[in-house]
Amino acid sequence: MTDIAVTSPADPGFTWSGRILGITRRSPTFAIGFLIVALFAFVAVFANVISPFGAIETFSSKVLLPPGREFWFGSDGNGMDVFSRVMHGARFAFGIAVPSAIIMLVIGVPLGLIAGYKGGMIDEVVLRTMDVIRSFPSIVLALAVVAATGQSLVNVVLVIGFLDAPIFTRLVRSEVLALRSSGFVDSAVAAGNPTWRILFVHLLPNAIRGSTAMIAVRMAWAVRISATLAFIGVGIQAPTPEWGAMIRQGAEFIISGEWWVALFPGLALVGIVLGFNLLGDGLQDLLDPRRKATGK
CB within 8 A of 92, min separation 6: which ones? Answer: 153, 226, 236, 240, 241, 242, 243
User: Could you tell me if residue 193 is inside a domain?
Assistant: yes
User: Could you tell me if residue 111 is inside a domain?
Assistant: yes
- Ranked by mean pLDDT, the top range of 55-64, 128-137, 270-279 is 270-279
Give the separation between CA 253 and CA 23, rounded to whole angstroms.
Answer: 45
pLDDT tens track for 207-256: 887 788 889 999 999 999 888 888 887 777 777 888 988 998 888 888 88
pTM of the model: 0.82
User: Could you tell me if residue 174 is inside a domain?
Assistant: yes
| Beta carbons within 10 angstroms of residue 175's beta carbon | 21
User: Could you tell me if residue 35 is inside a domain?
Assistant: no
pLDDT tens track for 253-295: 888 888 999 999 999 999 999 999 999 888 887 776 555 544 4
Give the separation between CA 175 and CA 227, rounded to whole angstroms.
Answer: 33
CB 271 within 8 Å of CB 263: no
Nearest to 112 by CA among 162, 43, 28, 170: 170
Q: What is the pLDDT of residue 1?
A: 38
Give the separation between CA 161 and CA 225, rounded to whole angstroms.
Answer: 11
The total number of structural domains that make up the chain:
1
Nearest to 48 by CA among 94, 8, 85, 9: 85
- CATH number of the domain bearing residue 178: 1.10.3720.10
User: Could you tell me if residue 255 is inside a domain?
Assistant: yes
User: Could you tell me if residue 33 is inside a domain?
Assistant: no
User: Could you tell me if residue 4 is inside a domain?
Assistant: no
User: Could you tell me if residue 256 is inside a domain?
Assistant: yes
SS3 category, 96: helix
Could you list the residue range(s) of the whole structural domain that residue 217 is in? 40-56+71-294
